[in-house]
Amino acid sequence: MVAEKPSKKLFSVTLRVWRQPGPAAPGKFVEYPAANVNPDMSFLELLDVVNDGLTVKGEEPIAFAHDCREGICGTCSCTINGKPHGPGHGIATCQLYMRSFQDGDVIVVEPFRAKAFPIQRDLVTDRAAFDKIQQAGGFISVRTGAAPDANSIPVPKEDADLAMDAAACIGCGACVAACKNASAMLFVAAKVSHLGLMPQGQPERDRRVLAMVQTMDAAGFGNCTNQYECSAVCPKNITHDFIARLNRDYAKALFRTRFKPVSGAAAGGAG
Amino acid sequence: MNLLGSLFQSSIGKKLLMAFTGLVLFGFVTGHLIGNLQIFLPPEKINAYGHMLESLGAVLWLIRLFLFACLVIHLWLAIQLTLENRAARPVAYGVEHTNRATLASRLMARSGLVVLAFLLFHLAQFTVRIGHPEWSEHTYQLANGPAVRDVYNMVVHGFSSVSVSVFYIIAVGLLSYHLSHGVVSLLQSLGLKNERWTRGLEGFAVAYCWGYFLLNAAIPLAVLGGFVQLHS
């Protein structure tokens, strides 16, 4: 006997979408009815269908950011009913399916809102501030060698697991979008911890945390008030414990860099 | 940037300072409550305690100065952080959604402001004794010592006013509410917390804050209820 397939009853929703023609232009919500919604469609596919309809009518389609559509690139970025990446836990917008909604729902779709993420158009924001933070210290400057060399530096399993949890950050910016203060602390904490937990990340550890935090502050993000809205919406379920670790790392780096002895070589080298 | 500059200007530096000054003030209000509870003992006890504190002289002023500095830093950074946080999201969401931020955490600035107003009133009433210069004159003869300031009667006089007592109870209620977020939050800011500790810490915070509120509120209630009366 074959299990009966669940019926795929098509339904209708109304999208209330933020439309903004350009970075400086004023924006407003516009409603778009969507009929014949298949519950197995992804949310982005629904936007595609709505956009097809708009194009046929000669209207400007809704601009939204998307790329891999499998939850690993961090490009998609809608705030759906006030929650970045919409209802659901540990998923990006592209992994949200219409079965999460019901017939007749009004779904409010907005861009991520933060001063540091200026809106380019409609739902598309410029998240280059994250790139700047990464460029300030989210790297290591040693040759890591070829694949077999990875085994030449032993890493305790616990550290590797923890570093991997932090490295799961896809840099989507949902943490900033969810934070009541538009703070980027969870993103920076993940990036700082990911490298700081690895032996290869030690030489630049102090410089990294200081530079990344300084760049974060300069980009106009807010401050953390320990409300943990960020980790509640993170598509990779990155824990705010990394923020505590970031705070600790920053404090240690602040004191260590100020009080460590200065090598004679720094003053001109052996002569 | 130098060390002090980094502490006062960077986002995490400010968090560290907020947490440290918050910890100091938390320690102060806890100690202050324990001292105050001596009102339930014979007048001798709290008057001797008050005399002991006043006789610290220069040390008392150093402690006061340190506490005042912590308060000013805590307040100054709170204003700065609040303004920065508002500026970080110039356009609000059409749909405001909260996942798990507690109400206490979202009302920190407002609960803090009421506590500040109360603190100024409290200092004016009991430390500077504005409006009641006669409280400075009243003395109490310690059993084996000098005549000292009569703290016991001053407290009973102070809380005999219903409006003063109500304001006091509201203010310590809001202070408890402020601390219910603050005591756990400060450990996160100092980097001394992880998920394994969270449940226990949050339980401690709830128990502490209820205890803090009820014990504080007991003092004016006992005066109004006639359980603590003027000694002769």
Q: Is A140 exposed, middle or buried (CB count within 10 Å of its CB: 0-12, 13-18, 19+)? A: middle
Amino acid at B98: T
pLDDT of residue B145: 83
Using alpha carbons, select from B133, B223, B154, B182 the residue that is nearest to residue B15: B182
Indicate yes or no: CB of A83 within 8 angstroms of CB of B99.
yes
Which pLDDT score, from 0 to 100, does residue A263 have? 84
Question: Each residue of B60-69: pLDDT tens digit?
Answer: 999 999 999 9
Check B87 against A220: CB less than 8 A apart: yes
Residue contacts between A and B (CB atoms, under 8 Å): 140
Q: Is residue B80 part of a domain?
A: yes
Residue B229 resides in a domain? no
Q: What ipTM was assigned to the predicted interfaces of this complex?
A: 0.93
HSE (CB half, 13 Å, CA atoms) of A236?
Answer: 22
Q: pLDDT-based confidence at B171, cuts 50/70/90? A: very high
Q: Which residues of A182-208 are buried (b: 16+ CB within 10 A; e: fewer)?
A: bbbbbbbbbbbbbbbbbeebeebbbeb
**Interface subset of A 33-72, CB within 8 angstroms of B:** none
Residue B94 lies in a domain: no
Cα of A123 to nearest chain B Cα, Å: 13
- Chain A residues touching residue B78 (CB < 8 angstroms): none
Q: What pLDDT is stored for residue A152 in this prediction?
A: 85
Distance from CA of A17 to the nearest CA of B (A): 10
A244 and chain B in contact, CB less than 8 A? yes
Mean pLDDT of the residues in chain B:
94
Alpha-carbon span B23 to B19, nearest angstrom: 6
Distance between CA A242 and CA B17 in Å, rounded? Answer: 19
In a domain, residue B19? The reply is yes
Which CATH number goes with the domain that contains B46? 1.20.1300.10
Q: Which domain holds residue B136?
A: 11-89+101-224
Q: How far is CA B192 from CA A251, B77, B101, in A?
A: 12, 21, 20
Q: What are the φ and ψ backbone dihedral angles of A156, each rounded to 5 degrees?
A: -55, 140
Rounded CA-CA distance A122/B211 in Å is: 51
pTM above 0.80, yes or no: yes
The full length of chain B comes to 232
| CB nearest to B84's CB, from A180, A223, A226 | A223
**Separation CA B178–CA B189 (nearest Å):** 16
Q: pLDDT per residue over B106-153, tens digit each? A: 999 999 999 999 999 999 988 888 888 888 778 898 888 888 989 999
Q: Which of B9, B85, B191 sits opposite A247 (nearest CB)?
A: B191
**Is residue B4 situated within a structural domain?**
no
DSSP-assigned letter for residue A94: G
B2 found inside a domain: no
Q: What is the per-residue pLDDT for A138?
A: 95
Interface check A211 vs B, CB under 8 A: no
Q: Chain A residue closest to B89 (CA)? A: A114
* Most B-contacting residue of A179, A247, A249 (CB-CB within 10 A), to test interface: A247
Contacts of B149 (CB under 8 A, 6+ apart): B47, B50, B51, B54, B136, B138, B139, B140
| Whole-number pLDDT of residue A7 | 59
Number of domains comprising chain B: 1
pLDDT in tens, chain A (271 residues): 566 566 579 999 999 999 999 999 999 999 999 999 999 999 999 999 999 999 999 999 999 999 999 999 999 999 999 999 999 999 999 999 999 999 999 999 999 999 999 999 999 999 999 999 999 999 998 777 788 887 888 899 999 999 999 999 999 999 999 999 999 999 999 999 999 999 989 999 999 999 999 999 999 999 999 999 999 999 999 999 999 999 999 999 999 998 888 888 766 555 4
| Percent of chain B with pLDDT strictly greater than 70 | 99
Residue B65 lies in a domain: yes
Domains and CATH numbers, chain A: 11-121 (3.10.20.30), 128-259 (1.10.1060.10)
B166 lies in some domain = yes
